[in-house]
């Protein structure tokens, strides 16, 4: 029991201030009441003979009613402050429990996400697990996961849209290019930069090699979005029409 109480005091330091406040209020009320009692008694009431009949009790209460009033007010104040303190303790306990639950859910959700990405990468021979930073990718999608919210971030949607813009640009360049004039090196640079925002690191490769890697990376992104990004606001990746 003592260890439990010590743990509570350490967890909620403000309880020390609450306790000190209660003691001060109690002390002030008792001392004030006692001072009035003694002052009134010194005025001649202490010389009266001891009497317990109804008239004496009534007279005693009338003489010391202000002293009793202070004691009653002090008791009411103590009860009120103690009640408020109990509510605060309950609220803080709830918040701490909610935060602990949110952190546990965050860790569990990230673990599932990481396992899924690892499994999907193992199905694709052109992607290296070391080139995908699942921590960056996860935090980008679920930026508020630590607080218990797993809604899709607007930033992630913007990055996917930016990647689509690069695909669309390359599709247009390939469509309008004279035979053999499609410049794949600038295309690679743009795609590499866009994927880096997701935590996916690619390097320049020969044209056909990069196309195969790019195909598997896009398939990985699409697969993950379908599994974890249930929101309609996450755009689907465009089809590639460039080679």
Task: List the domain boundaries for the chain.
Answer: 2-104, 123-228
Query: 229: helix, coil or strand?
Result: coil
- Look at the alpha carbons of 200, 160, 137, 127 in this order and tell me if their dihedral is positive or negative: negative
Q: Each residue's pLDDT tens digit in the chain (243 positions)? A: 445 445 544 555 566 677 777 788 778 878 887 777 677 666 555 555 666 666 666 666 666 677 777 778 888 887 887 787 777 767 777 666 767 677 788 889 999 999 999 999 999 999 999 999 999 999 999 998 888 888 899 999 999 999 999 999 999 988 887 766 678 899 999 999 999 999 999 999 999 999 999 999 999 999 999 999 877 889 999 999 887
Contact predicate 153/221, CB 8 Å: no
pTM (predicted TM-score): 0.65
Q: What is the largest CA-CA distance in the chain?
A: 124
- For residue 235, give every residue at least 6 positions away whose Cβ sits within 8 Å of its Cβ, in sequence order, or none: 157, 160, 161, 164
């Amino acid at each position: 029991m003592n260890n439990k109480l010590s743990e509570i005091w350490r967890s909620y330091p403000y309880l020390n201030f609450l306790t000190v406040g209660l003691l001060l209020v109690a002390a002030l009320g008792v001392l004030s009441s006692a001072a009035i009692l003694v002052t009134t008694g010194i005025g001649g009431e202490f010389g009266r003979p001891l009497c317990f009949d109804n008239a004496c009790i009534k007279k005693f209460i009338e003489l010391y009613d202000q002293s009793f009033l202070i004691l009653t007010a002090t008791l009411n104040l103590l009860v009120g402050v103690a009640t408020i303190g109990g509510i605060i303790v309950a609220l803080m306990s709830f918040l701490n429990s909610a935060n602990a639950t949110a952190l546990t859910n965050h860790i569990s959700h990230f673990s599932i996400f990481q396992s899924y990405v690892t499994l999907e990468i193992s199905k694709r021979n052109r992607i290296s697990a070391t080139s995908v930073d699942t921590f960056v990718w996860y935090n980008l999608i679920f930026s508020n996961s630590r607080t218990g919210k797993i809604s899709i971030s607007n930033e992630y949607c913007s990055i996917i849209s930016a990647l689509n813009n690069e695909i669309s640009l390359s599709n247009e360049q390939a469509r309008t290019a004279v035979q053999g004039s499609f410049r794949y090196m600038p295309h690679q640079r743009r795609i590499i930069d866009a994927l880096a925002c997701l935590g996916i690191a690619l390097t320049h490769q020969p044209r056909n090699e990069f196309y195969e890697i790019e195909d598997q990376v896009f398939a990985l992104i699409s697969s993950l979005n379908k599994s974890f990004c249930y929101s309609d606001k996450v755009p689907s990746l465009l089809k590639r029409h460039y080679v």
